[in-house]
Structures are given as structure tokens and as C-alpha cells.
Structure 1
Amino acid sequence: MKTLNDFDDKVIVGSDETLKGDTFGGLIVVGFRANNEERERLRNLGVRDSKTITDNVILRMAEDLKEYFSNNFFILSLMPEEYNAKVGVFGLTNILNELHRKVNIELKTSISIHVVDKYPGCRVGDIIEEKAESKYVEVAAASIIARDEAIKQFEELSRMASFRVPKGSTHVTEALNFLKRKNLKPAKFVKTHFRNVKNALGF
């Protein structure tokens, strides 16, 4: 398998997604491009796997990345209603493949290499690797911006619902029941194809 060391003098586009396992929220895919000099700057900024970083630090780091690398990233964000409409037609895997492909198209150069954090059914990218965000600083940068966008999406959904929308899929029963009691349209807030959603809302 090729590693980053094989491409130290190359341009790399790393892409990562978030929210695909969360009951609430839609789907976000972000791409981030860097050359060797920019990779060093990313490391100096402390860019690393977003899973190891708190939300408050994510917000600050994402702001820095967007300021210092304003032409190096591209965001594709689906709110729940758009996500639900698409997933019913195309399926999640096809949507993921298409979004990763699109962010690479926006960022690629004639010499760039596309690195994708592996997910089931992934069919895009020159390098597809598990836990790529811990091995490629470009994927780590993409994951930070993606998580920042996810935080903002959850804040927006919380405003729409008038309660704090929970992350993940474990402790969501109370929130799902709240949607039902308030007669809020589920497709605007949650992934309607999830089993826990169907069970809670009687789909």
C-alpha cells in the first residue's frame, strides 16, 4: 500500500465525511488540498485527527484553517431533508462516493493524489485507507472542518426544533419522542431510514 512518504513532493487532496452515523443531522464531506510546504504549516498548527480534539478547539482550528488556507478546502453539506431525499433514491454509499468525487474535482491539480478515509463501498480516491485522518494531515484538516460544519448544522437544527439536538445514535430516544410530540417533520431533523427512527416514530 502506498503511504504519504511516497508522495512527499506531491499535492494531496484528502477527504473525509461526518454525521453518517448520527441519527440527527444530514451528511457533510470536506476535501482539503496541500503541497509539501503547506503540509508542514498544517503540522505546525497542530492539525491532527479531529476525534482527539474537543469541540471548542475544533471551532478555533477550523477558523484558522479557513483563514490561512482559504483556497485549499471545499465543503459539501447536506441538511437532513436533502439527505433523506437523496438517500431514498441513490443509497448512502452512492451519495458518499459522489460527494467525495465532487470535492476532489473542485480541488485537484494535474499532479494531485486523492486520499479518502475508507468507508464501506468506497470506490473513489487514489488511496483508500482506514483511519486516514491519523495518517494524512490533509485528511485530518478535512475532518476538522467537517466537524466544525457538523457542530454548526446541529446548532441550526437545535434552533429549528427549540431543543438541543443530540449527537450520535445512542441517547436519542427522548429527542425523537419530542419530535413526535411537537409534530415536527422528521425528515427535516433525522435520518428517516435509520431503524431507531422508524421504531420511535412508527414509520
Structure 2
Amino acid sequence: MADDRLEEITRRFRHFVAEQGWSICDEKAIAHGYQCTVIDGQARVPVALYATGKTLVQGKASALQTALKAWDQPRQMQNTLLSAAEPSPLTVTRTAIPQATGVARIGSDESGKGDFYGPLVIAAVFVDEHNEPQLLRLGVRDSKKLTDKNISALAREIQTLCQHKILTYAPVSYNQLYQRLPNLNRLLAQAHARVITELSKNVPARLAIVDQFGDESLVRLELQKAASPLRLEQRYRAENDTAVAAASILARAKFVRDLAALSDEIGVQLPKGASNPQIVTIGRQIVVRHGKDALSAIAKLHFKTATTILQTVPEDEA
């Protein structure tokens, strides 16, 4: 009963976030609850939801934090009870370890959307009854549960076993694209649809599975534009599916490699994530040494962090 209640609270919360045009990352299960980070392109706010109905909103003061704190959980739950007969558009998988299904399908996932430095990478992987057992024996699972070393080794195996497609937006390309389309969820939807469509031309898949990151209609609309015949499933915790887990590993491996390459080019180790205090310190050093334009080659400029860095570097030093 508690699990069902938490799932419904989470579903309502994700729908609320999607309606605002925000995005969710860093999702994980916690004791008696669900935790994630909500991002609006500028701020990042950690949120925890509990089966009791309690919502814990953390992080620094911002407009996003205020809006999330104002989320009316009691009213949302009342609406849930009143509309209990409505079919849920969300498929929830409880198991943390992928299980074989034998269904030929494409899974896609992304890496880097919540990282200030480095690219955005989207990967799609085709899985069927022949390669899925091998992937499970290798220990393929959500990349967030693996070390970078394990991810690198598994990525090589996945690329050998599975047909796949990887799309990378290096920071320069990402920033140009975001200027034209300043909505992260729409940008992600286009990217997922692109890798899924391109891969589907070469594999006998009728189903595509994507982790639900925003309004469900976004990816569906992009696939329709591409005249894709695939049936689309957008799931909460889709990484519990083997195909999506494999895609998450390929995307993360490429992100880690590219971040390392950018670090070598700029001459300093660029940290992952968006909350590490070193992110701003290193950014200032880079701007002082190489100028403001250097930041656009290594970072996502719509993050509030970029403004913080640029505003704190004197003009005569930039």
C-alpha cells in the first residue's frame, strides 16, 4: 500500500515538473521514499518525496526552490483519490536489477544533462532474445550504480554485442542548440527521437523505451515527425530495463571519455556534476587564463553556474 501511494505521489510530482518545463535528474530510491534533483536551466533543487505525503525541498534559495515548496501535496493527493479510476500513463518497474523479457526493443538514455562541464550524450541500444541474456550475465544495469571503470569495460562489451547509436552534443554545439531551443526537455526529446529513429532503420524493433524526463507527448511528437512506426513506452526508472540500462552505460562512458578529453585540452581536471564547489573555482581560473569564450567550449552556459563564474571575474582579467 505504501509503495502504491509513493508511486502515485511520484507520478503526480513528475507531471507537475513536466508541466512547468523543468527537468529531473539524479533519481534514486531512498528509505520510504524517492529522491531527485529538479533543474530549470539555472538552479538545481534536491527534492525528496515520502510515502507519508511529506515533501522535503532542499538547496539554495531560488525561484525554482520557492515554486517547488509551493507544490500543494495535500491537494495533489486529494485529486489522486478523486481520479483514482483514471488510467495511469506511467509504467513503474520495481525491480532494481534488469530482468530478461525476450522482447526485441530499443532503449535510450542520456548522460551529462545535469553536469555543468562536458557534453550531452544520448545513446540508443537494440536488445533482443539473443543478446539480452549475455548482457545480464555481464552485469548490465543502470550506469548510476556502476563505477566509471566498470562502465568503460561494460561499454566495450555492449558495443560488440549490440547494434547502437550514440549522439553527442559537445559544449559548443550544445550551447548553440540551446540558444535556438531554450527548453531542455524539448532538446532531449529531439535527441532521443533522433537516435531511436536512426537505430530503428537497421534493427527489427517495434518498441522503444525511454526514461520519462518530462511531458510524455514530447518524445512521441518527435517520433511522429520522423514517421517512426515504433510503439513508445516512457517509464519511471526505465533504467531497470536491460536496453535502457545498456544505453545509459554507453552514454555515460562517452560522457566520461569526452570530459577527460576536454580536461586534457584545457589543462585542468574538470569536475562532474553541478554542485561541487570546485566547479566555480576552476571556471574562474579558466576564464582568467583563456578568456570568457573558453567557457563555452567546455561548459553548458545556460546553467546559473556560468553566470556566477563570469560575474565574479573582473573585466580586466577575463
Q: Distance in 1 between matches of 2:116 and 2:287?
A: 15
**Residue 180 in 1 paired to residue 287 in 2?**
yes
TM-score where L is the length of structure 1: 0.90
More strand by share: 2
How big is each residue's C-alpha offset from its partner over 1:146-197, in whole Å with a ceiling of 9 and x where there is no partner?
1100111111110121000110011211111112211342110111111111
Contact 1:17 1:30 in 2 (8 A): yes
Equivalent residue pairs, number: 198
Deviation at 1:41, TM superposition (A): 1.6
Aligned to 1:165: 270
Q: Distance in 2 between matches of 1:169 and 1:129?
A: 25
**2:300 pairs with one of 168, 191, 195:** 191
1:37 match: secondary structure: coil
TM-score where L is the length of structure 2: 0.59
AA at the equivalent of 2:130:
E
How big is each residue's C-alpha offset from its partner over 1:37-64, in whole Å with a ceiling of 9 and x where there is no partner?
2211211111011111111111111111
Aligned to 1:155: 260
AA at the equivalent of 1:130:
Y
Quick check: which has more Rg, 1 or 2?
2
Aligned to 1:131: 237
More helix by share: 1
Q: Distance in 1 between matches of 2:305 and 2:263?
A: 20
Aligned to 1:98: 190
**1:85 pairs with one of 176, 179, 192:** 176
Higher relative contact order, chain-length normalized (CA < 8 Å, sep 6+)? 1
Contact 1:10 1:112 in 2 (8 A): no
Q: Sort the Cα spacing of 1:111 and 1:169 in 2 relative to 1 into closer, same or farther, 3 A.
A: closer
2:290 match: secondary structure: coil
Aligned to 2:247: 142
Q: Distance in 2 between matches of 1:121 and 1:194?
A: 21
Q: Distance in 2 between matches of 1:121 and 1:176?
A: 33
Deviation at 1:2, TM superposition (A): 5.4
